[in-house]
Structure 1
Amino acid sequence: MTLPPFVSPTDPAAGRADLFLRYLDYYRESALAKASALPEDALRSSLLPSGWTPLELLKHLRYVELRWIEWGFEGTAVPEPWGDRRDDRWYVAPTETVDEVAAELRAQGAHTRAVVEGHDLAAVGAPGPRWDGAPPATLERVLFHLLQEYARHVGHLDIVAELSGGPTGE
């Protein structure tokens, strides 16, 4: 497993948007590297009482970006914003492969990058159902939320990978 280089606080950045994007890229690729290093049975089974699997977590991360960037900030009508869920839990169809889920997550990341590069961080999201009646957030707030979501879930994946005999740490 080869992880991307960690984004050091002392690495020069072109600005806050660049910093957000580099951290999101790091965490996205870290999650993909950790999950991809696991055997198929460990990707699709759970060692936790909550029951989620590493492959489900990857799909969830793709939908998190979709919900917050496309459905939320951009206000795009998304046919299935909760397509990562079924029966009130994360879901991956038996026919979905890790390569397909990884490609969708990377494509979503590319979309996020394009949105961030095309907007000021102070831009306010479009009104829409994502906000559930609250005023839309700025792009910076959305990115901060995405970053904490990724960091938290990569930590979860560290634990599951360790329990499965897979790669751990940074």
Structure 2
Amino acid sequence: MPPFPEPTAPADGRAEVFLRYLDYFREGVLAKVSGMAEDEQRRSGLPSGWTPLELLKHLRFVELRWIEWGFQGRDVGQPWGDWRDERWYVAPQEGLAELAAALRAQGAHTRAVVEGSDLATRGAPGPRWDGADPASLERVLFHLVQEYARHLGQLDIVAELAGGPVGE
């Protein structure tokens, strides 16, 4: 797992700071889910009903929706492929290894886009923006950081209740 991106650690700029936080949170999610028993990865201990594997898949699609479908304006086929019947969904044949590889690959794509773009660049017009003006890459990255931080905090509690890893 990458080290926590301390505010005092030198960085080449804001883009590198965003990438460090995203890498840290992404790997934190993967470590939490990987540290849980397989049956706990597919079980929900919450009234909302989401499972750790569903959360992992959701985060992959969050990056896909905001970076590829939104910022880049690409046709991604099924941007809501993490949803079925009004909730997050993981098929029975989808497992941790496959979902983790997809999340890491999405993270690598995000890194390449960020490293090749200026933070002030506006996203391509398209359906992701639901009629609004496209946001800048910096705003998209800020949203992704808060999404990961919030969900990792939720996963911390779920993992602890399931007897999985505790702490950061």
| Shorter-chain TM-score tier | over 0.9
- What do residues 21-50 of structure 1 show as CA deviations (whole Å, max 9, x unaligned)? 000000000000000010111000000000
Kindly state the Cα deviation for residue 4 of structure 1 after the two structures are TM-superposed.
Answer: 2.9
Partner of 1:132: 130
- What do residues 54-87 of structure 1 show as CA deviations (whole Å, max 9, x unaligned)? 0000000000000000000000011100000000
Residue from 150, 153, 156 that aligns with 1:152: 150
The answer to whether residue 105 in structure 2 is matched with residue 107 in structure 1 is: yes
2: CA distance, partners of 1:122 / 1:159: 36
Residue from 123, 140, 143 that aligns with 1:142: 140
Q: Which amino acid letter does the alignment assign opposite residue 45 of structure 2?
A: L
2: CA distance, partners of 1:164 / 1:5: 25
- What do residues 64-121 of structure 1 show as CA deviations (whole Å, max 9, x unaligned)? 0000000000000111000000000000000001000000000000000000000000
TM-score, normalization: structure 2?
A: 0.99
Root-mean-square deviation over aligned CA pairs: 0.6
1: CA distance, partners of 2:46 / 2:96: 20
Greater than 4 Å deviation, 4+ residue runs: none
2: CA distance, partners of 1:155 / 1:168: 11
1: CA distance, partners of 2:75 / 2:26: 24
TM-score, normalization: structure 1?
A: 0.98
Number of matched pairs: 168
Q: Give the fraction of aligned pairs with identical amino acids, expressed as a percent.
A: 75
Gaps of 5+ in 2: none
2: CA distance, partners of 1:37 / 1:69: 28
